[in-house]
Amino acid sequence: MSDIFISYARSTADQAQAIAESLRGLGYGVWRDDEIPANRAYADVIAERLATAKAVVVVWSAEAARSEWVRSEAERARAEHKLVQLSVDGARLPMPFDQTQCADLAGWSGGDDTPGWKQVVGAIANLASPSHARHEDPRKAVRKLSICVLPFANMSGDPEQEYFSDGISEDIITDLSKVSALDVTARNNAFTFKGKSVEVQEVARRMNVTHVLEGSVRKAGGRVRITAQLIDGTSGNHLWAERYDRDLTDIFALQDEISEAIVGALKLKLLPAEKKAIEQRGTDNVEAYNLYLMARSYWLTGNGGDPRREEAIERLARRAVDIDPGYALAWALLATGQSALHRYHGRAGDGGQAALDRALALNPDLVEARALKALIMSNAGRHEEAAAEIAVALRLDPESYEANDRAGTISYNQGRLEDAIRHWEKAAALIETNLYAAFMLVSCYTALGDGENTRRVAGIALARAEKVVAQDSSNGYAMGVGVTALAALGEVERAKEWMNRALLIDPGNLIMRYNFACALATSLNDPEAALDMLGPALERDPSGLLHDTRNDPDLAGLRDDPRFQAMIAEAEAQLAAANPADGAGA
């Protein structure tokens, strides 16, 4: 069987042929659809070759972007993690392929030393080894160096310091990703090993990398100890190891030192622009950095619907920007907390607009700020502007949790459930501790009648909710997610037990009550109980819940009920009285 499958449109047959010949010259077995035997069905052969190929090279062009065949082949390759993309005419790629790296081969004349071709060869080398390489050929492909940074273990003796060790791990991944000669496993893939005892060589095999970095962090008082080991993924030998004991104020220099030591151990050259990029962290103040990490941990894993979470985020982020007024990330997180307090808890103020404007003034390309701006536009009914803004955020960083999470919400608000699913599947994988994306996927798949995927994501949501509740039995939001997941899995009695317990522990959590209403209206099939649950929540927070109540597919079965219609009318009147200039649709 061939190592490489090439997918292309007819107008680029010549380019596809040139690409195939160059790859054959590197020792790869290459297959194109001009080799289909006369006695075989086209679709059968395509399916067979796609299944057995180690890498699928998609030659994008304007025609290929419109081709159902090319898009179908590309989608299967993407799902199986063996997609290599290149463009020969600069045409815009269709979604979601525009969110994945694509080599530029416009004007390529077959040279081995062009950046685009090197990018293609490096990507293929990470997926497939030449099956019949000719030893005398000096162009034989060399596997590009690659690394998986395992989540550093928290050795502080305090589970609440987990945010700090995770932050260090994420920063090292980000730093190494800036080295052009090194491929780095994405955070969401690396963090699947968090808390697990795994053999390094098994990690290297599963992640298809040449090297693995593992380590630990101990933070106590004003000191930090970091150990790190760089390991050859094939032999299991240590190439480099070090232990650092430093003042916490040295943490940025220490992270730079670790990244540069890894680059040196791999015998790579760090370009001046790459060194400069690594050293840019958004702030030079360790206290502001620590406060930001803590605030973001609350946002990702805290008790959603409890105003104390947003208040903690606001206090921590506010203190961070007081310390460093130029810290754009902290300004964006401050805006996130203020926006949630304004929308869901009726707090006075501008809903974080000033903080958001400040973040964007400091860094117009800050993904977190662009994504929040898009969400605020969507909540205000400015759907076209929101779509344009979130597209910018996704282009800036297709691997951003914030961008994918907000894109899911924006799509969901507009009833585009397939798009919402695509973004929330990505978001759920990016941050494995976050509940929201997995929880919302249950709603999407349920609305589409996809029972198999509903059960799959419900299992993920339940596992995450159980983990949170085990650590914090008063987390009403996690219990609300658990109820929805249990109901979708058919565990009705357990779902009701969780619901009753949650209402005793956190009765004022309106988002939790709203989620219970959704579960009662769908999987638990109790519309009267759903209305009983929804009414008080909508009455107490019409500004935050009215839009969701109007449009949520989980509540579709209630919309013809007179009680439901009366609730909506009362909420609209309440909003109109409170905001006479804006009207109920503001």
Average pLDDT over residues 339-367: 90
Mean pLDDT value across residues 362-384:
92
Kindly state the average pLDDT of the residues 129-146: 51
End-to-end CA distance of the chain: 60
Tell me what pLDDT residue 373 has: 96
> Among 106-120, 128-142, 215-229, 314-328, whose mean pLDDT is lowest?
128-142
Chain segment 249-295, per-residue pLDDT in tens: 888 888 888 888 888 888 887 677 777 766 666 888 888 988 998 89
Structural fold of domain 146-281: Rossmann fold (3.40.50)
Radius of gyration for the chain, computed over Cα atoms and rounded to the nearest angstrom = 26
Confidence category of residue 138, pLDDT binned at 50, 70, 90: very low
Domain ranges of the chain: 4-125, 146-281, 438-586
Is 137:26 a contact under the CB 8 Å cutoff?
yes
The yes-or-no answer to whether 4-125 and 146-281 have a common fold is yes
Q: What is the pLDDT, as a whole number, of residue 132? A: 45
Q: What pLDDT, on the 0 to 100 scale, is given for residue 43?
A: 60
Is the predicted pLDDT of residue 542 greater than 80, yes or no?
no
pLDDT at 106: 82
Containing H/E element for 149?
A: strand 146-149
Neighbours of 115 (CB within 10 A): 11
Q: Is the pTM of this model over 0.95?
A: no
The whole-number average pLDDT for the span 46-57 is: 81
444-497 residue pLDDT tens: 999 999 999 999 999 999 998 998 888 888 888 888 899 999 999 999 999 999
More confident residue, 488 or 582: 488
Is CATH 1.25.40 the classification given to domain 438-586?
A: yes
Any residues with CB less than 8 A from the CB of 508 and at least 6 apart, and which? none
Average pLDDT, whole number, for the chain?
Answer: 84
Q: Is the pLDDT of residue 63 over 80?
A: yes
Predicted local distance difference test score (pLDDT) of residue 586 = 26
Q: What is the pLDDT of residue 101?
A: 77
Give 372's contacts (C-beta < 8 A, 6+ positions apart): 332, 335, 336, 339, 352, 356, 402, 406
Q: What span, in angstroms and rounded, lies between the C-alpha atoms of 524 and 547?
A: 23
The span from the CA of 142 to the CA of 536, in Å, is 65
53-83 as b/e: b if 16+ CB within 10 A: bbbbbbbbbeebbebeebbebbebbbeeebb
In the predicted model, what is the mean pLDDT of residues 512-540?
Answer: 89
Q: What pLDDT, on the 0 to 100 scale, is given for residue 136?
A: 40
* pLDDT at position 133: 42
Are β-strands 211-220 and 223-232 bridged in parallel, bridged antiparallel, or unpaired? antiparallel
Residues with Cβ within 8 Å of residue 226, at least 6 apart in sequence: 152, 168, 215, 216, 217, 218, 243, 244, 246, 254, 258
User: Which of 121-125, 133-137, 289-293, 548-552 is predicted most confidently?
Assistant: 289-293
pLDDT digits (tens, 9 = 90+) for 150-198: 999 988 877 768 888 888 888 888 888 888 788 888 777 788 888 888 8
Give the pLDDT confidence score for residue 582 in this predicted structure.
Answer: 46
The fold for domain 4-125 equals Rossmann fold (3.40.50)
92-96, 227-231, 245-249, 517-521: which range is least confident on average? Answer: 92-96
Residue 39 banded pLDDT, cuts 50, 70, 90: very low
